[in-house]
Each structure stands twice: as C-alpha cells, then as structure tokens.
C-alpha cells in the first residue's frame, strides 16, 4: 500500500533539541541545582494538566514559577519569554518537510499545551500541514490510540498509508501497534534515509 501521509511529532523533531549547556545556564541564573530544571518542569502534575488542556501555557508557567525560584508574576513572564525565544526550528527537518509537501499529506501530532497551531503560525510553517493534533486542544495524549485514530481520520488515510515520526520510543511503538509505520527520530539525515527506504518498499 502506498504511503500517503507523514505525521511528525513537534518537540525535538520539528523543534531543534536545546543543548544541555543552555539548560545549565538557566539553572545557574535561577539558582537551581544542575540537572533539575527539566524534572521540575516536565515531571510535574501541572505539566500533565497542560498537556491535557486543563491548564493554559500561561497557567502552567505561573504554577511552576515558584519552584523555579521565580518570585513575581513579572519574573515568571520574563523567564517564560526567554525560554520560548530559545526554541528554534530544526532547519534540516524543515527542508525535508518542504520536500514532502505537495506529494504527501502532512500532519503534526504532538503532546503540547493548548495553542500549538499559533506557534506553528508564528514560525510561518502552519500552512505546510494538513492536520495539527495538539493534545492540549484535544484532551487526548499519546500514546492513547485515539490520538492516532483521530489524526488518521482527519487526514483521510488508512494506518498502513501513514508514517509516524517521534523521538519517544514508546510513542513510536504505540503508533506501530495501531498499524502505522513508526520511525524513531534521531537526525534529519537518518530520517531522510528511512523514508526513502520506506517509499521504495511500497
């Protein structure tokens, strides 16, 4: 069966991986112990609430701020904007998306707080995708099978006609369990080769 759709995760696939040194600078500036900022932010219940749309991104930051030693709403907002400004597109992945655009249906399927479409629009790449599934807007997170089913339904393709790309092994395995072709993301170069091999098989 022909591959008709390519579904991308967002964080650390479409976005570039932030270097560890950057997190080190955050921790130094905040007065946090090395290696603690990510567990504080993303190991929290409030992050899970944001991923399910129970909190906005602003509500998440203001809930987590005191644990990051940010004492006032102004300090929280300033660091929030700094953190977001340090996010960048993986330019090599973007080149691949441009190559695929027009020949395949493209989608983003991401565990993200509400508002992912605005982020994509701000980066001027929203138009490249036929479907954007954001867990915070849908109330469903990967690896829930429903996330994959809804995305496939909106794309109008069968599981075997779709490829799902993610940097989290468990999410790739969940997609494969639903009948999709799953690829674990490492680099754009590796991904390009994996897709090329997959297209040749069809």
Mean pLDDT of successive 10-residue stretches along the chain, which has 202 residues? 95 96 98 97 97 96 98 98 97 98 98 97 98 98 98 98 98 98 98 95 73
Which residues, listed in sequence order, are joined to residue 109 by a DSSP beta bridge?
A: 133
Pair 79, 118 in one domain: no
In the prediction, which pLDDT does 156 show?
Answer: 98
Q: Identify the domain containing residue 54 by its residue range.
A: 20-85
Domains identified in the chain, total number: 2
Strand ranges, E, within the chain: 5-8, 105-110, 131-134, 162-166, 181-184
pLDDT of residue 116: 97
Instruction: List the structure tokens of 172.
Output: 């790739």
In terms of domains, do 102 and 165 share one?
Answer: yes
117-133 residues labelled b (16+ CB within 10 A) or e (exposed): eebbeeeebeebbebbb
Q: What is the C-alpha separation between 16 and 67, in angstroms, rounded?
A: 26
pLDDT at 72: 98
Out of 33, 57, 85, pick the residue that ends a domain: 85
Verify that 123 and 135 share a domain, yes or no. yes
Whether 39 and 120 share a structural domain: no
Contacts of 149 (CB under 8 A, 6+ apart): 178
The answer on 194 and 150 residing in a single domain is yes
pLDDT for 1: 77
Distance CA 136, CA 52 (A): 5
Whether residues 79 and 99 fall in one domain: no
Task: Check whether residue 100 and residue 162 sit in a common domain.
Answer: yes
Q: CATH code at 197?
A: 3.40.50.1000
Residue that is last in its domain, among 52, 85, 118: 85
Boundary-marking domain end, from 85, 119, 138: 85
Instruction: State the pLDDT at residue 172.
Output: 98
- Are residues 69 and 147 both part of a single domain? no
**Contact partners, residue 49, CB within 8 Å, separation at least 6:** 55, 60
Name beta bridge partners: 8: 108, 165
């Amino acid at each position: 069966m022909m591959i008709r759709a390519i579904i991308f995760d967002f964080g650390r696939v479409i976005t570039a991986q932030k270097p560890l040194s950057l997190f080190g600078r955050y921790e130094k500036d905040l007065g946090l112990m090395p290696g603690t900022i990510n567990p504080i932010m993303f190991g929290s219940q409030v992050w899970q609430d944001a991923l399910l749309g129970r909190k906005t991104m602003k509500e998440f930051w203001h809930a987590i701020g005191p644990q990051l030693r940010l004492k006032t709403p102004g300090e929280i907002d300033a660091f929030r904007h700094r953190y977001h400004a340090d996010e960048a597109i993986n330019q090599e992945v973007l080149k691949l998306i441009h190559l695929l655009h027009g020949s395949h249906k493209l989608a983003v399927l991401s565990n993200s707080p509400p508002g992912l479409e605005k982020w994509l629009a701000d980066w001027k790449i929203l138009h490249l995708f036929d479907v954007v599934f954001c867990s915070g807007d849908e109330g469903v997170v990967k690896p829930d099978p429903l996330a994959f089913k809804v995305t496939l339904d909106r794309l109008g393709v069968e599981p075997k006609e779709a490829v799902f790309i993610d940097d989290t092994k468990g999410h790739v395995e969940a997609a494969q369990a639903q009948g999709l072709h799953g690829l674990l993301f490492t680099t754009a170069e590796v991904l390009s080769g994996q897709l090329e091999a997959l297209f040749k098989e069809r």
